A = this chain, B = another copy of it.
């Protein structure tokens, strides 16, 4: 079972990353720090006769990573009540990616992966993070993907999230869920 985490933070070892590591304790997984990648904002050419232009940045890495994953984890700090700009730029590019002839199976593959969203915020994330969760849901519904779990946690200064005992408890539930998923996959 291949797991990939997309980190939306600019900080290494930031709260959303710490939270993801709790969820993934005991698992091997690939991690992409979006901040370190060169991903340019989408140029919307859905309605151009020539279609999208192939862009020479790091987005292919993301697509290839998705294609070999069974589980995707989106781990983002809550910046201004939504996912980080780096993650939004990455999400926006999906409009191009699902039309990219070099990856004809992307959309179909997305519909088979399991999805977890993890988000850490400092300003009442359990309430003010909810519109972001609704947006993730619309995204996954549009793409025909599942939206298996989300976890909102509290944290501001680096390391804070480990003190959010409710969130940490939920990471254990998610860890267990992943274990069961892994076991089920093996049996097939």
Contact = CB atoms under 8 A, between A and B. Distances in A.
Contact of A44 (B41, B77, B88, B126): B77
Interface string A31-44: 00001000001111
Interface stretch (A56-64, A105-113, A133-141): A133-141
Nearest to A131: B131
B139 A9 contact: no
A150 B128 contact: no
Given A14-B44, A41-B10, A130-B130, A91 B85 contact: yes
Interface of A: 9-11, 14, 35, 41-44, 47, 77, 79-86, 88-92, 94-95, 123, 126-128, 130-135, 137-139, 142, 147, 149-150, 156-158, 165-166, 169-170, 173, 177
* 5 nearest A-B pairs in the assembled complex, by CB-CB distance: A131-B131, A85-B89, A85-B88, A88-B88, A81-B138
Contacts of A9: 44
Copies of this chain, tallied across the complex: 4
A95 B122 CA distance: 13
Contacts of A90: 85
Contact of A41 (B47, B85, B131, B137): B85
A165 B149 CA distance: 13
20 contacts: A9-B44, A41-B84, A41-B85, A41-B86, A44-B79, A80-B92, A80-B94, A80-B142, A81-B134, A81-B139, A82-B82, A84-B88, A88-B89, A126-B150, A130-B133, A131-B134, A134-B134, A149-B166, A165-B173, A169-B173
